Homo-oligomer: A and B are copies of this chain.
Amino acid sequence: MKESDFQTLKVDQRRMMETLHHTCSFGTGHRWGQAATETGMKRLALSDSDKKVRDWFVDTTKSLGCEITIDKMGNIFAVRPGRRQDVAPIFVGSHLDTQPTGGRYDGILGILAGVETLKVLQDANVETEYPIGVVNWTNEEGARFPMTMVSSGVWAEAISLEAAHGLKEVGGTRATLLSELKRQGYLGETPASYRATPMSAHFELHIEQGPILEMEKQKIGVVNGVQAYKWYTIEVEGRAAHTGTTPYGARADALLGAARMIAHSNKKGHELSALASTGILTLEPGSTNTIANKVSFSLDIRAPDNSTVEAMEAQLKKDFTALAGEEPVPLSVIWRTDSNSPAVKFHKDCIDIVRQSADAVLGNSSLHRDMTSGAGHDSVYTSRHCPTTMIFVPSKNGVSHHPEEWTSDEDCALGAEVLCQSVIRYDRKLAGATS
C-alpha cells in the first residue's frame, strides 16, 4: 500500500458517532440537555452496563475479523490479523468504563475510534503487515475499584495481580474487582502481562480534558509525555476552642492555618511554574462555634518534569512549617505522600508519526501542537513496555469527568483519522524496518 493510497482512507464520522452514542445507551447517566445524546454516562467498571458494552465490543470486533483475548484483569484484546503472525500487534487502546458522573468521550472515544479504524481497514480491504489490535483496559477510572489505570498497571507488571484483584468496591459492599470479574464472565485465562500479550506499539486517542486546544483554536494535540505529579495529604492540628470565648491570641485554628497554606501553595505554584491544587478538605469537629482542631487536605502538585515537583514539595514543606509557627498558638503539620507518578516521556517514533499524520489530516501545522498530558492514562503504563503516544482532541470548556463533557463530531472524527493514519503509518514503518 502506497502512502498516496492510505491517505485516501477516511473514517466515517457519522458511522463512528452513531456507534459511539449507541454504546452510550449502556450506562446512560445524568441528562443535561434536550437532545437524545445530551446525557452523561455512569458506567462503572464491571457493572452490569459495563458488561453490556464489553459484550458489544467483543461481538463487534469479532464480526470485523478479530480474535479476542481476555486476560486475568478482564482486559479485552481484539486483534485483526496482519500479513505476519510472528510479531506483536500494533494496538489502539483506551477504556470503556466511566466516572459515576462522567461523560460520553473520556476513554470511550479512544475505543470507538479503534473500532472505526478496524472498519476502515475492513472496508478498504487493507492487509497490514502487523496485526492491528484494539484493547479495552479494565477500571481505568479507578472510580469503582479505587486504583486508577490498575489493569494496564498489572499488564506492565507495575501492580501485582493480587493487589488489583483484592480491590474493594468504593462504598462498602463486599464486591471486589475479582468477584466482579467472575460475576460478569470477564475473568480471562491469559496472564495479565506484557509478556503474554505483547504490543509493538500503543496509540491512544483521548479528549484533552483541559482547555488548551480550545483556547488556542487547535484541533490535535501531539502528546509528548505525561507530566509528573505527586499527591499528598497534609494534616494540620490545632486546638478546638469556642469561637465566642477564645481571643485570637489564644487560638490554634487549624482551618485558618490550612486556608493560608492552600492560598500560599497557589502563589508558589505560579512562581515555580507548577500546578498546585487542593480538592479535598475535611475537618473536625465541624461546628459553627467551635474552632477546628484538625484539618486534613489533599495537595496535588504537577509539572512537566520531576525536578519542579520536588522543588515545589521542598519549598512548601518549609513554608507550611513557617505558616504553622506563625499562628498565635503554633499548629502542627504532617505530610503524607499518597502517590508519586514521575514524568513520562512518550516514544519519539510514535510522536513523529502522529505529528506527520496530523499534518496530513489537517493540512496545516498551525492546527496541531505538541503538548504534555496533564492527567494519567493507560498509555503511561504501556509506554514502559512498548513505543507509545497519545492524540488529544479539544474538550469544550476543558470540562471532563462531568456529564457535560463534550467534543464536536468533527473533532472526534479528526482525531480518529489521525489515529487511523498513525496506526497504518507505524505499520508501514515497522514493515520497512523488518522487510
List residues of chain A with CB under 8 Å of any chain B CB: 101, 208-212, 215, 227, 229, 231, 239-248, 250, 253, 255-256, 258-260, 262-263, 266, 269-270, 275, 277-281, 283, 285-292, 298, 300, 302, 338, 373-376, 398-402
Please name the residue on chain B nearest to A143 by beta carbon: B287
Interchain CB contact under 8 A, A259 and B250: no
Which residues on the B side are within 8 Å of A260 (C-beta)? Answer: 259, 263
Contact B256 A262 (CB under 8 A): yes
Quick check: B288 and A242 within 8 Å, CB to CB?
Answer: no
A-B contact pairs, 26 of them (CB 8 A): A209-B245, A210-B241, A210-B247, A212-B245, A212-B247, A240-B399, A241-B399, A242-B398, A243-B275, A243-B374, A244-B275, A244-B302, A245-B374, A246-B398, A250-B398, A256-B262, A256-B278, A259-B262, A277-B289, A279-B283, A279-B289, A280-B287, A288-B298, A288-B300, A289-B375, A290-B401
Given A275-B243, A279-B243, A286-B279: A269 in contact with B248 (beta carbons within 8 A): yes
- A398 to B251: give the CA distance in the assembly, Å: 10
Please name the residue on chain B nearest to A211 by beta carbon. Answer: B250
Shortest distance between the CB of A346 and any CB in chain B (Å)? 16
* A241: B residues at CB distance < 8 A: 210, 398-400
A324 to chain B, nearest CB (A): 14
- Give chain B nearest CB distance to A259 CB in angstroms: 4
A242 touches B283 (CB 8 A): no
* Chain B: minimal CB distance from A241 (Å): 6
Partner of A242, one of B245, B253, B270, B401: B401
Q: Which residues of B contact A399 (CB under 8 A)?
A: 239-241
The answer for the CA separation of A144 and B268 in the assembled complex, in Å, is 44
For A283, the closest partner residue in chain B by CB is B281
A269 nearest in chain B by CB position: B248
**What are the residues of chain B within 8 A of A101 when measuring CB–CB?**
285
Contact of A374 among B208, B215, B227, B242 (CB under 8 A): B242
CB neighbours (8 Å) of A244 from chain B are 209-210, 227, 229, 275, 300, 302, 373-376
Known: A210-B244, A212-B247. 17 other contacts (CB 8 A): A101-B285, A209-B242, A211-B250, A241-B399, A241-B400, A243-B277, A243-B300, A244-B300, A244-B302, A255-B262, A256-B266, A259-B260, A277-B291, A279-B292, A280-B286, A281-B283, A289-B375
- Residue among A208, A211, A291, A375 with the most chain B CB within 10 A? A211
Which residue in chain B gives the minimum CB-CB distance to A287? Answer: B279
> B250 and A210: CB pair below 8 A?
yes
B292–A275 touching, CB < 8 Å: no
Alpha-carbon gap, A302 to B288, bound state (A): 12
Which residues of B have CB within 8 Å of A231? 288-289
State the Cβ distance, A218 to closest chain B Cβ, in Å. Answer: 14
Cα of A371 to Cα of B263 in the assembled complex, Å: 36
Shortest Cβ distance from A299 into B: residue: B288
Give A290 to B100 CA distance when docked, in angstroms: 14
A240 to B288, Cβ gap below 8 A? no
Task: List B contacts of A402 (CB < 8 A).
Answer: 240
Within the complex, which residue of B210, B227, B253, B262 is in contact with A277, where a contact is CB–CB below 8 Å? B253
Q: Which residue of B lies closest to A232 (CB)?
A: B288
Which residue of B has the minimal Cβ distance to A209?
A: B245
CA distance A374 to B259 in the complex (A): 24
